[in-house]
Structure 1
Amino acid sequence: MNIAVTLTGLAQGVTYVIVGIFFIWLVKIVDDWRTKEFDDDVHIDDGNVAVGLRRAGLYLGIAIALSGAMGGASSGFFLDLIHLLVDGLIITGFMFSARFINDFIMLANINNDEECIKTFVQPDGSKCVGNRAVGMVEAGMYIATGFILHGSISGTGGTFFQGIVSSILFFILGQIVLLVVGLLYELITPFNVRKEIKDNNLAAGIGLSGILMALGIILMSSISGPFTGWANDIVSFSIYAVFGIVLLLICRAVIDKLLLPTTNIATEVIKDRNVAAMIVVASAINAVAIIIAFSM
């Protein structure tokens, strides 16, 4: 073992960690500015789970996306560092774009910011501040976007400029697929998903969030890999997207039968608001997505 090479590698690794922490801090500052009408830190200190969830999803999404930028063949430390800084700025912009899409399309007619600081009366009569279901869906959208960006940024081949264009293209395509899945999920679910989310039903939020994250994992796998040409990469992405959507929806129905044999998702969400049951279902769907991603 060459000690000098090892120490150099560790020093470079620490530099990448510092850059990663910088971008996590940067998205916090940007989000604080964006929600300057209320103080997120105060709400988190006061135990607002909704605000905590959305922030957690943002930080995880950034880290997942940046890990894609840190992978791949090296072009030399300083050039890699410059690429990472550029990718980090692009990723930051994408994350807030994803949030805008989530606000105005995925959860249309729901104001995320207002919902996350609103006071709700629970079915048992207790009060809580913040719509946890909205916070959960927003977290899921951030994390799913992080997986998509990880795949698009981590690919090898092509020029640096082609890599940036590829990231933009697959971000847009990935968001379209996520929105399509959100619509299909509403259509096949025997209850009004958006109404339950607006009513602060965390179980409903976990259900939708779980599907989004699972699809993000599959799309990451479909995008990752060497650049083989625009037409070929887009066709491959489209095939995997359709395959992933169909398989996930089938798996959701199967999981409903296997893991909830004495009940069903509709009952657990609407009647019981069973968060524990939906965590198990969402985890199972994401476990299947991981298996699908590594089998393709």
Structure 2
Amino acid sequence: MEKYLYDLLDILIVIFFLFISKRTADFLTKFDDDDSVEIGANSAVALWRFGQYFGMAIAMSGLLGTETAMKDIPSFFLNGALVTLLFFLSHYINRYLFLKGIDNNKLIGEGNAAVGMVNCGIYLASGLVLNGVLSGGGGGLLSAIVFFALAQCVIALIFLITQKIYQIGIKDEIAGGNLSAGVFLAGVVISYAVILRSSVSGDFIGWERGIISFFVSAFVGLAFLFVIQKVADAIFLPKTTLSEQIIKRNTAAVTVVEAISLSVAIVIARIM
């Protein structure tokens, strides 16, 4: 009976932090988010909030099932506050890197679904990474924060490499409302976050071994991801290229390729 009581408290605390994340996002935006969804049927805001709530739940689930969650509710509550802070910090760091020069709030308020999709992807990626760094034991909050920071650096590198490989103006396409570009970037970030989560999860094994293991797994996963992306491009879009379909705004074709990439990323993460 006691276990079920703690489980209920854990669920209530997670719901509380989901509400806090909503109020935080409400405060940071320059428009009425609720009216945009309920009255304006703004899909960009809906995508943004979908990623935010789902990502936050994924991040918080990294704390569930631990001794802290089961036996020390105040500590779980404080850790939840830290997770919320890191979650939003991660989102803003990545949003700055991926959408630099784009007025995020303005375009989402106007219904730019491409920008909303990228924000959704960033939130989900942030939640996956946080879930990974919180899922192990032995290192404490310091190791969680350090590996979280390392993961952010690698995710930033993903964007730079993506720009070089595909040689298209991703940010310009997204700012122009090209949903296929938004799906592409969100798919790349989420797929890599799935792999990266396996690099940062597990028990702390010491700083030297842990950091070496992280970078080996991170860059092996990065290589696999781009190879798979190219293979999926060649197999499922045999008469064209992913770059061409993004420019043509063919969201259907881009979605198929990103679905394959995400599916294979899940398998790679399991193997690693």
| TM interval, short-chain normalised | over 0.9
Which residue, 242, 246, 254 being the options, matches 1:269? Answer: 246
Distance 2:134 2:74 in 1: 14
Which residue, 66, 89, 105 being the options, matches 2:97? Answer: 105
Whether contact under 8 Å (1:58, 1:95) holds in the other structure is: no
Partner of 1:238 in structure 2?
215
Partner of 1:125 in structure 2?
none
1:258 matched to 2:235:
yes
Seen in structure 2, the aligned counterparts of structure 1 residues 26 and 65 have a Cα distance that, compared at 3 Å, is same
Give 1:20 shift: 1.0
Q: TM-score, normalised by structure 2?
A: 0.95
Partner of 1:39 in structure 2?
32
Which residue, 1, 14, 17 being the options, matches 2:11? Answer: 17
Which residue, 132, 139, 158 being the options, matches 1:181? Answer: 158
1:282 matched to 2:258:
yes
Distance 1:85 1:244 in 2: 33
1:220 matched to 2:231:
no
Whether contact under 8 Å (2:87, 2:126) holds in the other structure is: yes
Deviates more, 1:146-155 or 1:11-20: 11-20
Whether contact under 8 Å (1:61, 1:145) holds in the other structure is: yes
Structure number with bigger Rg: 1
Which residue, 101, 116, 132 being the options, matches 1:151? Answer: 132
Secondary structure of 2:220's partner?
A: helix
Partner of 2:114 in structure 1?
133
Give 1:61 shift: 1.1
In structure 2, list runs of 5 or more residues that go unmatched: none
1:28 matched to 2:12:
no
- Aligned AA for 1:288? V
Whether contact under 8 Å (2:68, 2:76) holds in the other structure is: no
Distance 1:71 1:289 in 2: 25
Query: Please, what is the CA RMSD of the aligned residues?
Result: 1.5
Whether contact under 8 Å (2:129, 2:200) holds in the other structure is: yes
Partner of 1:170 in structure 2?
147
In structure 1, list runs of 5 or more residues that go unmatched: 1-6, 119-129
What is the aligned length?
271
1:96 matched to 2:88:
yes
Whether contact under 8 Å (2:181, 2:246) holds in the other structure is: yes
Seen in structure 2, the aligned counterparts of structure 1 residues 71 and 224 have a Cα distance that, compared at 3 Å, is farther
Whether contact under 8 Å (1:145, 1:171) holds in the other structure is: no
Q: What do the CA deviations read for 1:79-114 (whole angstroms, capped 9, x no partner)?
A: 2x2332122111111121122213322211112111
Give runs of ≥4 in structure 1 deviating > 4 Å. none
Give 1:263 shift: 2.4
Give 1:115 shift: 1.2
- Aligned AA for 1:292? I
Q: What do the CA deviations read for 1:263-294 (whole angstroms, capped 9, x no partner)?
A: 221222112x1222222211111111110111
